[in-house]
A = this chain, B = another copy of it.
Amino acid sequence: MPSTYQPPVATMRFLLEHVLDFDAQMAALPGLEEVTSELAGEVLTMAGRMCTERLAPLNLPGDAAGTKLVDGNVVTAPGFAEAYAEFVEAGWPGLAGDPEFGGQGLPRTVQIMLDEMVSAANLSFGLFPGLTRGAAEALAAHGSDELKATYLGKLVTGEWCGAMALTEASAGTDLGLLRTRAEPRGDGSYAVTGTKIFISSGDQDFGNNIVHLVLARLPDAPAGVKGISLLLVPKFLPGASGAFDERNAMSVGALEHKMGIHAQPTCVMNYDGATGWLVGEAGRGLNAMFTMMNAERLFVGIQGLGLADAATQNAVAYARERLQGRAADGRPGPVPIIAHADVRKMLLACRAFVEPARALAAWTAIRMDSADRHPDAATRDAASADVALLTPVVKAAFTDFGFETTVLAQQVFGGHGYIHEAGMEQFVRDARITQIYEGTNGVQAMDLVSRKVTLNGGAPLRAYLDGIAADIDKSDSGDLAVQMRAALAMLEEASATIAAASGDADALGAAATEYLNLFALVSLGWMWVRILAAAPALEDAHSRDTYAALAAYYASYVLPRAGLHAARIVAGPATVMALDEALF
């Protein structure tokens, strides 16, 4: 059975136009004045067609075929190279890219909606343009004019691909431990030597250049993170003719055997004195990487959302078709299993997450567009702080809830969900990586409690929570408002606890994941408040009914989780730290 996927473009348009005030927001941003939710809808309709017609059909076969290493060269799954060429030809990689370098100059907000659909249709594929965009962002922010002139345009358009080479076997979360070396050659270039693991899109057979951004140590660099520099290391160097036809001294050591994203070539990369150039200042490599980290982490959160939506759509379709058992309403059986309360709960739980998550992602992306472009510095700063605050929440919560959603959706299929051909187990396996890469979700939670809560003395958090409180007060959303006030009060109290624990790594570590979950539950509930407030604008009464039912489910079945996380924060770190390390 091929997977069902309907691009949620109508919903996206509704969110932009009625929930998030997109048109007015864009009108204030130089370069985006003409971008409206109508235009976004048109672009996304085309994007949705590409996702359903070109990418989704390659997803299940790509999982089965996987990637291969043949004579040192990566061979991608059938159809991927052609699909990538079409993707580039249509201009999708540069959707939000700088027009000066061949991009379309559209908002990040539209980009993340494209990202959601691409992830839903084919996550393994989506990582090719995703990492390319990340490399382009880092290069744009930190590269020399010369490097940019050579490489940036090719990356923005996707003609060449990008890869980010950070992790080593002994240096994951703790990049300060990395050992790859970069030796200056005296001609402005460096010889890069070392082995990196888990390198997504490290190599492929698309017939183009691949620009690796590699973290390495220069000679005499200090130990730890301050000794790390970023180098641009292309697969192909300009040869004698000036064409990029000379193979650099780098190779694929192996393809990782992974739980999922089988069609994505995750490489062990060997750099054997490969030629590279410094991006940004020596010793400031992590800084350069973190420039684009917000966007990359938001992208990963979006992947969780996209997979959750695709899985949910399939579960709903299956629950309508699958006939088993009898219903309480007495109609003759067997009935579609969507009649059963337990199945309905699973579907409601899935959709009650997906809808507000999409809204919150778009809200965050709009703030990102403001941070990039608003003419007023204070407005930019405030937007930037919101993005900093929300980034770990979107990354971790969307991937944790997203994974849970794929598991629930798979469960709706019963035994059939465990079988490859149904496609549901692939969603689960693919979603699992999103909780891990670009910083594990534990790392995201530590970022939130140790840096973001106290950012600028806590002012951005204060403003964020006040905004939520104001929207609740404006709403007439009944039980949802009651539950939201209770949950918001818990979040306020927990925020004070976190702020008071500043610098106490154990207290913060014990509270981190709980706080992030509490924060996410309130934030998603806030989006429900805003969606319900905007719902009267919908012409379709059925859509209003759907939102009302999902929001009610969120209020009475999901928001009570807030109390669990609050209780754990109150419990504090003593219980967590008590047991001797040897006695686990």
What is the distance, in angstroms, from A285's C-beta to the closest C-beta of chain B?
Answer: 18
The reply to whether the CB of A342 lies closer than 8 angstroms to some CB of chain B is yes
Q: Is the CB of B567 within 8 A of A560?
A: yes
Contact of A342 among B442, B504, B579 (CB under 8 A): B442
- How many Å lie between the Cα of A167 and that of B419 in the bound state? 14
Q: Is the CB of B584 within 8 A of A347?
A: yes
List chain B residues, Cβ under 8 A from A172: 324, 414-416
A287-326 residues at the B interface, CB under 8 angstroms: 316, 319-320, 323-325
Q: Is the CB of A552 within 8 A of B581?
A: no
List chain B residues, Cβ under 8 A from A327: 505
A531-584 residues at the B interface, CB under 8 angstroms: 542, 545-546, 549-550, 552-553, 556-557, 560-561, 563-564, 567-568, 571, 573, 575-584
- How many Å lie between the Cα of A347 and that of B509 in the bound state? 14
Q: Is the CB of B506 within 8 A of A428?
A: no
* A579 in contact with B345 given A415-B437, A419-B256 (CB within 8 Å): no
Q: Is the CB of B579 within 8 A of A341?
A: no
Q: Is the CB of A414 within 8 A of B432?
A: no
A-B residue pairs, 8 tightest by C-beta: A341-B509, A328-B505, A259-B425, A556-B571, A549-B579, A174-B324, A257-B420, A560-B567
Residues in chain A within 8 A of chain B (CB atoms)? 167, 170-174, 176-177, 197-198, 256-260, 316, 319-320, 323-325, 327-328, 333-334, 336, 338-348, 351, 403, 407, 410-411, 414-421, 425, 428-429, 432-433, 435-437, 440-442, 445-446, 504-510, 512-513, 542, 545-546, 549-550, 552-553, 556-557, 560-561, 563-564, 567-568, 571, 573, 575-584
Question: Can you pick out 27 interface pairs between chain A and chain B where the beta carbons lie within 8 Å of each other?
Answer: A170-B323, A172-B414, A174-B324, A176-B334, A257-B420, A258-B419, A258-B425, A260-B418, A316-B584, A319-B584, A328-B504, A340-B442, A341-B509, A345-B510, A348-B575, A348-B576, A415-B436, A418-B432, A418-B436, A545-B579, A545-B580, A545-B583, A546-B579, A549-B575, A552-B575, A557-B575, A560-B568
